[in-house]
A and B are shown apart, each in its own frame.
Chain A
Amino acid sequence: MPDRGSAPFTSLSPFADLYATESSAIKTSFEETGDGLACLRSRTELVDKLTAQLYSSLLSSDLKGPPNFCLAAAGGYGRRELFPCSDIDLLFLARDPQGLKLHRESIAAITRSLWDLRMRVGHSARTLADCGRLHPDNLEFNISLLDARYLAGDEQLFEKLRSQIIPHLVRRDQQDLIRNLIDLSQQRHAKHGKTIFHLEPNVKEAPGGLRDFQVARWLSVIHEMAERGDWTAPESLWTGELQRAVQSSVRFLSAVRCLLHFSHGRDDNQLTYELQEEAAARSLGVDYGNPMDAAEWMRQYYRHVRSIYRLVNGQIEETTPSRSSLYKVFQDWRSRLSNADFSVIRGKIFPRSPAPSKLATVLNLFEMIARHSLELSREAERWVEETSRALQLEGYDPAEIWPAFHRILGLPHAASALRQMHRLGFLTVLFPEFRAIDALVIRDFFHRYTVDEHSFTAVQNVWQLRAAPSSVADSSPETPDPWKEKFAELFREIERPDLLCFALLLHDVGKGMDVAKHIEGSLQAAQAVCGRLNLTPEESGMVLFLIASHLEMSSTMTRRDIFDPDVVRAFVEKVGTPERLKMLCLFTYADITAVNPEALTPWKAEMLWQLYAMASNALAHSVDQDRLEISGPLTFQADRIIPFVEPEASASELESFLNGFPKRYLAAYAPEEIARHFQWARQLSQMPVQVRISRKGHSSELVVLTRDRPFLFASITGTLAGWGMNILKAEAFANRSGVVVDIFRFHDLFRTLELNPSEAARLESDLAAVLAGKVSVSTLMARRKSSPELLQGKIKTATRIDFDDASSSRCSLMEIIAQDRPGLLYQISSALAELGCNIEVALIDTEAQKAIDVFYLTSQGLKLSPQQQEVLRSALLERLTGF
């Protein structure tokens, strides 16, 4: 058969006319019906028609010839899914290299003609042997053969490709093909932040897009062909519900992609805000022709991509080839996490009983995810969905939620648990308020994700700080992200990461509410949630503070001069306490980094840290200046305490108790707690020393109320040291009438109180005896010899003592940084007492094994003279470094 490609000229004008007329008709039909799949079919038929005509004009007038040579469609064209501006993939197949050589001119003429018709053609000319070989550098070619479809030429040759060559290749190389496909998909997902919730998503490449649907099909085809050796249609393997959902999603996304191609005039698959408006105006893929709100239309979009994302992830999990033996050991080890309600098999959770269960059991399931980063099996997903429906119908006690939910939020994989809860509709059963931001698009130049996903990403980012290297352990100057490291240090210091995450979860709920400012809406929702879940006043106080102030720090650092002390002072006034400052700083970090991965530039991170450091210093140095002066009606803070005060106590008694305390005392403690302190202060006339010990999380708290006296602070710290307690934090405040409230948070190094509950009463009585002068501290101290291991810190901190006479008008501030160890505070405070220094305020903190203590000191009612400061410095340095 002669090669007709060498014919000098074939007029393209009839082809061009046909192509132009029919393309225009396809576009018109799409605009009238919005049917994307019909558009793909019509365009495929049109291109089939053109390629057949060109084939017969330029290669062989007989469409079934020549022998041993054929033309096939590959890729999307092979699947009959040709989008308006997609590439047209052609495969010219010959039995041997001579066949390709013989028809080289014709092949070039056909592809050139298609290019001249302004079609984007991708072609490959291969022999059967080529097609049967694995191409490690071009596995896309091997994959594209899975979609190959006969167009013209020797049918038997094509049949050989399809029934022998491809199945043989797949059976032989299925592991490589699957692994490569999965790796490429996971890289693509990572490039798109592993989330479907993009504000302007790419409908082909983003997670849950059309590419994922194809990946799921390919994985299924490869798997089935390797197992059974036939071309089982993947759709027939998917369950009825999944199949319906996926078909509907593919129909929707196909229509959207057609719109994008027609609008952009090229293969651009980004669903921009403008085209979202256009699609919503036509209700594309939903109820064509009846306009709908763009945000609501986008919710439909996310619902569809969620089905496809679920499909592809399920397929990836089912077909992932076995990995290293170490990984298997890890997965087997994780199966030990099984319990009475759930089995863990290969890193996935399965419910033991298919029947819907109680709220507590579902929460336990998500706690396992948050703790161990496990995946839900399809059975578990169905079980959660059914239980959610049952809980919604039958109701539940909302007070059951918080004890388990706060544990979930306080675990490293909290964001993963929250995402899965939301995906399965369980989160909105717990918090119907969250429905307002379900897949909500708020148009903003900087935000990359929907509002719900932004909140989950913020929780994820804050927990990722846990994985950041510690500068305490590794102070290498070449750490990759020094700012992240600093925020990671802060994260390690906070006591309640769960409250931070709860505030992050709810902080933008107001964006989906009909309110003037979103913060007002979020606060309203958070107040309702905190009340319903029965959070303690301290817990809800922190959550509401963070939500109310969540823009405070970023607006201060970008709109104010943070190097102006007045700006820092005003900011500190709003924040109130160091714990709140740390939480707000971390909240701001998480919120900004969740806008998009590049939003927190090193420049902004530095500003945020600067503001934090300056505010932290200002908080420690301004306590004395900012005292409560009650003259006339009760202040707002005092007003909050009244409801918790016993009825026989008068308002004037409360006023006199509060008068002169630093405002920080009122900001740091809940009204109920202050009311309790007031109650104990009223009992001082009968019992001059009030001592209370209670358990607070992993540590214990001691509150001492008494009248101020020399050696008071030293006596308390000495008694605690004598009992082997390590003081982590302490705050000592005094009011105008000389009543002292000293609050210590300590770590029970030998678990004395935990293992012997009655010992708490004995410690209280020892403290009362020491403070009453009945027992000396040295007697108690002599009872305990600290073990050398406890005194040896893993990290060495040099002792540093600084004085500041400028921050307070009546006290000298002394800041000590030293290696933390049991008894340290007693050494410091006893030295202060021996040198005649009175502690007006003490702020004691510990960071890793570094003690950071600030004392506001007076000597005979005056600031310390420079000479006294020097004597004090030498005495302390001698004691602390000679230790």
Chain B
Amino acid sequence: MKKVEAIIQTSKLNPVKEALQEIGVDGMTISEVRGHGRQKGHTEVYRGNEYTVDFLPKIKIEIILPDERVDHTVEAILKAAKTGKIGDGKIFIYPIAEAIRIRNEERGDSAL
């Protein structure tokens, strides 16, 4: 079992969500986050005041999957979120020890 965590452009949420639904990934957690990698921030001047945007708005998607579905899922995210420019984001994959469904205490892949 793995957790796929993808940090993507805000504008790519819908395309990624649709791509994941197409391959049967329905469950996901979405967060509004801020951050930067090499893209860094930038400075905007509005009416003589400088606004430094250190951290750019991004969307974080978290999905927990059985091992065999990870590659396919990562591929779908890559395809939908890629523009080829700096700031497209990153994907991280973590091992998961256990999943438990609170309602009926099911465990393992069946709890996903």
Are B45 and A802 neighbours in the complex by a CB distance under 8 Å? yes
Inter-chain contacts of B51 with A (CB < 8 A): 613
- A603-B57, A604-B32 are contacts. A558–B46 as well, Cβ < 8 Å? no
Closest B residue to A847 by beta carbon equals B47
Known: A558-B13, A559-B11, A606-B57. A617 touches B45 (CB 8 A): yes
Chain B nearest Cβ from A323, distance in angstroms = 43
Q: Are A601 and B46 interface neighbours, CB within 8 A?
A: no
**Chain B contacts of A750 at CB under 8 A?**
none
B48 in contact with A800 (CB, 8 Å): yes
A607-B57, A610-B53 as given contacts; A559 in contact with B14, CB under 8 Å: yes
Residues of B within 8 A of A557 (CB): 10
A847 to B46, CA, bound (A): 12
- Whole-angstrom distance from the CB of A287 to the nearest CB of chain B? 38
- What 0/1 readout, one digit per residue, does chain A (582-614) give for beta carbons within 8 Å of chain B? 000000000000000000010110110010011
Given A561-B11, A607-B10, the answer on whether A850 and B48 have CB atoms closer than 8 Å is yes
Partner of B46 from the list A604, A613, A802 (CB cut-off 8 Å) is: A613
Does B75 have its Cβ within 8 Å of any Cβ on chain A? Answer: no
Q: Nearest residue in B to A817 (C-beta to C-beta)?
A: B48
A763 within 8 A of partner (CB): no
Cα distance, A454 to B42, chains bound together (Å): 36
Tell me which residues across on chain A come within 8 A of B10, comparing CB atoms: 557-558, 561, 607
Asked if A616 lies at the interface with its beta carbon under 8 angstroms from chain B, I say yes
What's the nearest-Cβ distance from chain A to residue B77, in Å? Answer: 17
Of all chain B residues, the one with the shortest Cβ separation from A616 is B46
Check A817/B47 contact, CB under 8 A, given A601-B32, A603-B34, A610-B53.
Answer: yes
**Tally of chain B residues near chain A (CB < 8 A):** 20
Verify if A63 is at the interface (C-beta below 8 Å from B).
Answer: no
Interface mask (B1-14 → A, CB under 8 Å = 1, otherwise 0): 00000000111011
The docked-state distance in angstroms from the alpha carbon of A614 to that of B43 is: 11
Q: Given that A560-B11, A603-B34, A604-B32 are known contacts, is A852 also in contact with B56, CB under 8 Å in the complex? A: no
Does B106 interact with chain A (Cβ within 8 Å)?
A: no
Contacts of B44 in A (CB 8 A): 610, 613-614, 617
Bound-complex Cα distance A793 to B83 (A): 50
**Is A644 an interface position by the 8 A CB rule?**
no
Nearest Cβ in chain A — how far from B9, in angstroms? 6
Task: Say yes or no: is A563 at the interface (Cβ < 8 Å to chain B).
Answer: yes
Q: How far is the CB of B19 from chain A (nearest CB, A)?
A: 15
Q: Which residues of B contact A604 (CB under 8 A)?
A: 32
Q: A617-B45, A852-B47 are in contact. Are A561 and B57 (CB under 8 A)?
A: no
Interface size class, chain A: 20 to 34
For A603, the closest partner residue in chain B by CB is B32
Cα-based distance from A817 to B50 in the complex (angstroms)? 12
In the assembled complex, the Cα of A254 lies from the Cα of B51 at a distance in Å of 56
The closest CB in chain A to the CB of B32 belongs to A603
The minimal Cβ–Cβ distance linking B54 to chain A, given in whole angstroms, is 11
Complex alpha-carbon distance, A610 and B53, angstroms: 9
Task: Look across to chain B and name the residue whose beta carbon is closest to the beta carbon of A561.
Answer: B11
A358-384 vs B: 1/0 string, CB under 8 Å?
000000000000000000000000000
Name B87's closest neighbour in chain A (CB-CB). Answer: A563
Contact with B along A128-150 (1 / 0, CB 8 A): 00000000000000000000000
Name B1-36 residues within 8 Å CB distance of A. Answer: 9-11, 13-14, 32-34
- A660 vs B33: C-alpha distance in the bound complex, in angstroms? 45
CB distance from B24 to the nearest CB of A (A): 22
A602 to chain B, nearest CB (A): 9
Most buried by A among B42, B44, B47, B57: B47
Which residues of the partner chain A approach B14 to less than 8 Å between Cβ atoms?
Answer: 559
Bound together, the chains give a CA A558 to CA B83 distance in angstroms of 16
Report B-chain residues with C-beta under 8 Å of the C-beta of A800: 48
Interface pair B46/A563, CB less than 8 Å apart: no
Interface centre among A558, A560, A563, A604 (most CB of B within 10 A): A563
In whole angstroms, what is the CA distance A604 to B46 when docked? 19
Interface centre among B14, B42, B48, B57 (most CB of A within 10 A): B48
Instruction: Write the chain A residue with the least CB distance to B42.
Output: A563
Chain A residue with minimal CB distance to B44? A613
**Minimum Cβ distance to chain B for residue A586 (Å):** 16
Q: Report the bound CA distance from A797 to B47 in whole Å.
A: 11
* A797 to B9 CA separation, bound complex (whole angstroms): 37
* Distance of B41 from chain A, by nearest CB (Å): 10
Which chain B residue has the least Cβ–Cβ distance from A612?
B46
Give Cα A557–Cα B59 distance, bound, in whole angstroms.
13
A852 to B47, CA, bound (A): 6
A815 to B10, CA, bound (A): 32
A606 to B10, CA, bound (A): 13
Question: Which residues of A sit under 8 angstroms from B42, Cβ to Cβ?
Answer: 563
Q: Which residues of A contact B9 (CB under 8 A)?
A: 561
How many Å from the CB of B65 to the closest CB on chain A? 24
Q: Which residues does chain B contribute within 8 Å of A610, judged by CB atoms? A: 44, 53, 57
In angstroms, Cα B47 to Cα A802, docked, is 11
CA distance A438 to B10 in the complex (A): 35
Return chain B residues, CB-CB under 8 Å to A616. Answer: 46-47
Q: Which residues from B are CB-within-8-Å of A847?
A: 47
Closest partner residue, chain B, to A604 (CB atom) = B32
Residues of B near A561 (CB, < 8 A) are 9-11, 83
In the complex, residue of chain B having the shortest beta-carbon distance to the beta carbon of A556: B11
Query: Which residues of chain B are within 8 angstroms of A852 by Cβ–Cβ distance?
Result: 47-48
Q: From B12, which residue of chain A is reached at the shortest CB distance?
A: A561
- B contact residues around A850 at 8 Å (CB): 47-48
Minimum CB–CB distance from B50 to chain A (whole Å) comes to: 10
CB contacts (< 8 Å) of B32 on chain A: these are 601, 603-604
Among residues of B, the one whose C-beta sits closest to the C-beta of A614 is B44
- List of B residues within 8 angstroms of A606 by Cβ: 34, 57
Q: With A563-B56, A610-B53 in contact, is A558–B11 under 8 Å at CB?
A: yes
Q: Can you list, as one digit per residue, whether each of A546-589 has a CB less than 8 Å from chain B (1) or not (0)?
A: 00000000000111110100000000000000000000000000
- Min CB distance, A752 to chain B, in Å? 30
Which residue of chain A has the shortest Cβ distance to B51 in the bound complex? A613
Closest A residue by C-beta to B58: A603
Question: How far does the alpha carbon of A852 sit from the alpha carbon of B45 in the complex, in Å?
Answer: 12
Residues of A contacting B34 in the complex (Cβ-Cβ under 8 angstroms):
603, 606
- CB-CB under 8 A from B83, the residues of chain A are 561
> Chain A interface (Cβ within 8 Å of chain B)?
557-561, 563, 601, 603-604, 606-607, 610, 613-614, 616-617, 797, 800, 802, 815, 817, 847, 850, 852
List 3 tightest A-B contacts by C-beta distance, closest first. A817-B48, A603-B32, A613-B46
With A613-B51, A852-B47, A852-B48 given, can you name 16 additional A-B contacts, CB distance below 8 Å?
Answer: A558-B10, A559-B11, A559-B14, A560-B11, A603-B33, A603-B57, A607-B10, A610-B44, A610-B57, A613-B46, A614-B44, A616-B47, A617-B44, A617-B46, A847-B47, A850-B47
Return 29 A-B CB contacts under 8 Å, by A number: A558-B10, A558-B11, A558-B13, A559-B14, A560-B11, A561-B11, A561-B83, A563-B42, A603-B33, A604-B32, A606-B57, A607-B57, A610-B44, A610-B53, A613-B44, A613-B46, A613-B51, A614-B44, A616-B47, A617-B44, A617-B45, A617-B46, A797-B48, A800-B48, A815-B48, A817-B47, A850-B48, A852-B47, A852-B48
